[in-house]
């Protein structure tokens, strides 16, 4: 028998609920169950052919060796160009870091800065990994509930109330996972006014979904809205969502040079550098024709509109229309307290999600995992055929409640 005991940092955190739910859906499918899986936050499109060709070309050129810790010069140049072109933001080469996905960059930023119960403000609903990332790095998550009545957004008043002497970071994710909501420029400016009064607070701006954007007005970010905060914001992004390159594992960030240097130092001891071939593909994706993004976003928008209309027509459910990303966060408060055909009472959003899975074979995620109930998260990064089938089944399941 093994005598291994995990370190306390491992025991303090939990397995990602989204990863666990996706694994459960795969297990049920493998066992022969008819499962419609809406748990996966991953584009169903293939990586664009021209990006794949760029990776092949890099292999043919022999670009299969170690790269600098902070990414190849070509990729750093492409990242700087992308931020300048889309957001009007200028960054120097030493203000750029590159990692194995935006998730790694976020973790390394916290590892480089958080200790001794430093506090990190996390608006809820939140991406499931944020609190555990903070806890793993000896920090303390400060969860601020952002109710539907506030548009699922952090308000200046709630931000002000959450800031304390030990506050180190605020995490802002927009468009959000799980709600898809984003902040307007005026809303960001209002948050910025609060942050300018508290110079000890840094901001992790997780903009991984910023190009999966449905509104007519352009997407903006905190640094663009409040330039005075630039030296306190780590602007994080990657190619996974916009370019359907999840498996390529390339994320990046721009921010204060000392923080970037600390992240790079940690990565030098952790993984040396990201994949050279993936970096070549990412550099090409950022600097080449961007038609793939506009075309895929149009498809996502059609799926969003259909799914929202279907869900909002189901008595007991309601759904806010997201500004971006590819998630829906329906309110299931109207079914709480009802009884399933086998006599079980739906007491929580977890009960409802389990009912959908067991009763009609729809795999979703409970709102409790994202810090705000009673909701459930669905991904529409899948075919319209799958979305229609899922909506049919959800409608049937809700109608069967008593």
How large is the average pLDDT for residues 56-65? Answer: 98
Q: In the prediction, which pLDDT does 20 show?
A: 72
Say yes or no to pLDDT of 21 above 80: no
Confidence of residue 10 (pLDDT cuts 50, 70, 90): confident
76-119 pLDDT per residue, tens: 999 999 999 999 999 999 999 999 999 999 999 999 999 999 99
Confidence of residue 33 (pLDDT cuts 50, 70, 90): confident
Pair 367, 329: CB distance under 8 Å: yes
Q: How far apart are the first and last CA of the chain?
A: 50
Count other C-beta atoms under 10 Å from residue 269's C-beta: 8
Q: What is the CA radius of gyration of the chain?
A: 21
223-274 pLDDT per residue, tens: 999 999 999 999 999 999 999 999 999 999 999 999 999 999 999 999 999 9
List Cβ neighbours of 21 (8 Å cut-off, separation of 6 or more).
Answer: 39, 363, 364, 365
Pair 180, 327: CB distance under 8 Å: yes
186-198 pLDDT per residue, tens: 999 999 999 999 9
Pair 311, 327: CB distance under 8 Å: no
Give dist(CA 86, CA 78) in Å, integer. 12
Q: In the prediction, which pLDDT does 13 show?
A: 86
Say yes or no to pLDDT of 9 above 90: no
Say yes or no to pLDDT of 63 above 80: yes
Count other C-beta atoms under 10 Å from residue 53's C-beta: 12
What six digits make up the tokens of 228?
């005075």
pTM for the full model? 0.95
How many residues are given for the chain? 402
Q: In the prediction, which pLDDT does 16 show?
A: 75
Structural domains for the chain:
8-46+292-399 (3.90.1150.10), 65-287 (3.40.640.10)
Give dist(CA 177, CA 39) in Å, integer. 12
The structure tokens 């640094």 sit at 223
Q: In the prediction, which pLDDT does 369 show?
A: 95
């Amino acid at each position: 028998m093994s005598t291994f005991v995990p370190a306390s940092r491992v025991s303090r955190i939990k397995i990602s609920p989204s990863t666990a739910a996706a694994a459960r859906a795969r297990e049920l499918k493998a066992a022969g169950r008819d499962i419609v899986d809406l748990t996966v936050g991953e584009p169903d499109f293939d990586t664009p052919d021209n990006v794949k060709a760029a990776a092949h070309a890099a292999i043919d050129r022999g670009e299969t060796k170690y790269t600098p810790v902070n990414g190849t010069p070509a990729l750093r140049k492409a990242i700087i160009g992308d931020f300048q072109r889309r957001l009007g933001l200028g960054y120097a080469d030493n203000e750029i870091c590159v990692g194995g996905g935006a998730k790694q960059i976020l973790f390394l930023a916290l590892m480089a800065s958080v200790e001794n119960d430093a506090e990190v403000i996390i608006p809820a609903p939140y991406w499931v990994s944020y609190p555990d990332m903070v806890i793993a790095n000896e920090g303390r998550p400060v969860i601020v509930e952002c109710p539907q009545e506030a548009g699922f957004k952090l308000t200046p008043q709630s931000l002000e109330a959450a800031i304390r002497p030990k506050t180190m970071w605020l995490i802002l994710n927009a468009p959000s996972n799980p709600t898809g909501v984003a902040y307007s420029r005026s809303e960001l400016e209002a948050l910025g006014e609060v942050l300018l009064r508290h110079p000890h607070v840094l901001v992790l701006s997780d903009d991984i979904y910023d190009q999966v954007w449905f509104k007519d007005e352009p997407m903006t970010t905190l640094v663009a809205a409040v330039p005075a905060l630039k030296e306190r914001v780590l602007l994080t992004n990657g190619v996974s969502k916009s370019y359907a390159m999840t498996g390529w594992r390339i994320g990046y960030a721009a921010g204060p040079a000392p923080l970037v240097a600390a992240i790079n130092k940690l990565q030098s001891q952790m993984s040396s550098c990201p994949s050279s071939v993936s970096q070549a593909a990412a550099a090409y994706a950022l600097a080449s024709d961007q038609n793939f993004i506009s075309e895929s976003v149009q498809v996502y928008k059609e799926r969003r509109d259909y799914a929202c209309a279907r869900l909002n027509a189901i008595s007991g459910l309601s759904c806010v229309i997201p500004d971006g990303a590819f998630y829906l966060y329906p309110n299931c408060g109207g079914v709480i307290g009802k009884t399933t055909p086998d006599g079980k009472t739906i007491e929580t959003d977890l009960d409802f999600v389990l009912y959908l899975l067991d009763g009609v074979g729809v795999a979703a995620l409970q709102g409790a995992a994202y810090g705000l109930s009673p909701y459930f998260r669905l991904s529409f990064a899948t075919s319209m055929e799958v979305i229609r089938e899922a909506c049919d089944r959800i409608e049937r399941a809700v109608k069967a409640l008593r």
